[in-house]
Amino acid sequence: MDEKDLKKEIKEEKKEIKKDKKILEEFKEQIESLNNSLQEEKEKSMRIQAEMMNFKQRKELEVANMYKYANEDILKQLLLISDNFERALAMENEENKEFLKGFRMIYQSIRDILDQNEVTEISEINVEFDPAIHQAVLTEKKDGVKEGLVIDVLQKGYKYKDRILRPAMVKVSE
């Protein structure tokens, strides 16, 4: 082999090496691109998983609240009946005393049902007016009474567990 052939062969080898380097660079770019795509997909998958976990927790909380407050509508209707019994019992006199004994028993049964379902009264007097549990229906200027105090309960309010079932209708001092 002469020098010319050797130079030619070296030149071809250099071309091959350049070509191989170019192919190697293209592979590196493709690998990097694929790695970036894989990382993006992993992040997307993690976000979707987190969203699903949050959705599941929200749904579980929603279902738990549905079970917790399932009787709310029925209890509101029982309150109306209880109010009517209280009005009837407030009209007691000597003539209807015996007749109202039966009413008193029915009323007590309704009160027991409300107690069993964690329904509690809101009927405090001389407390600070709280718009979350009170509904101011009347105001009255009263000497010696601090402004913003509940001075009379016109209709009892009720709480069901930790929720307001019905706000108390009250008269507030000015």
pLDDT of residue 137: 95
The answer to whether residues 95 and 50 belong to one domain is: no
The answer to whether residues 63 and 10 belong to one domain is: yes
The answer to whether residues 62 and 18 belong to one domain is: yes
Can you read off the two tokens belonging to residue 100?
């109202």
Backbone φ and ψ of 82, nearest 5°: -60, -40
pLDDT of residue 143: 83
The answer to whether residues 62 and 10 belong to one domain is: yes
Least confident of 3-12, 33-42, 75-84, 127-136: 3-12
pLDDT of residue 83: 94
Query: Whole-angstrom Cα distance, residue 48 to residue 102?
Result: 62
pLDDT of residue 8: 83
pLDDT of 134 strictly over 90? yes
Q: Is the pTM of this model over 0.75?
A: no
**Residue 120 Cα distances to 78, 112, 160, 162, angstroms:** 13, 11, 7, 10
Summarised one tens digit per residue, pLDDT across range 49-80 is 999 999 999 999 999 989 888 899 999 999 99
Domain membership of residue 92 as a residue range: 76-117
Residue owning tokens 């009927």: 123
The answer to whether residues 53 and 1 belong to one domain is: yes
pLDDT of residue 7: 82
Q: Dihedral sign, CA of 93, 79, 104, 106?
A: positive
Query: Whole-angstrom Cα distance, residue 158 to residue 121?
Result: 5
Question: How many structural domains does the chain have?
Answer: 3
The answer to whether residues 106 and 45 belong to one domain is: no
Please enumerate in sequence order all residues whose Cβ is within 8 A of that of 107, keeping only pairs 6 or more positions apart, or say none.
82, 85, 86, 89
Backbone φ and ψ of 147, nearest 5°: -65, 140
Least confident of 32-41, 51-60, 98-107: 98-107
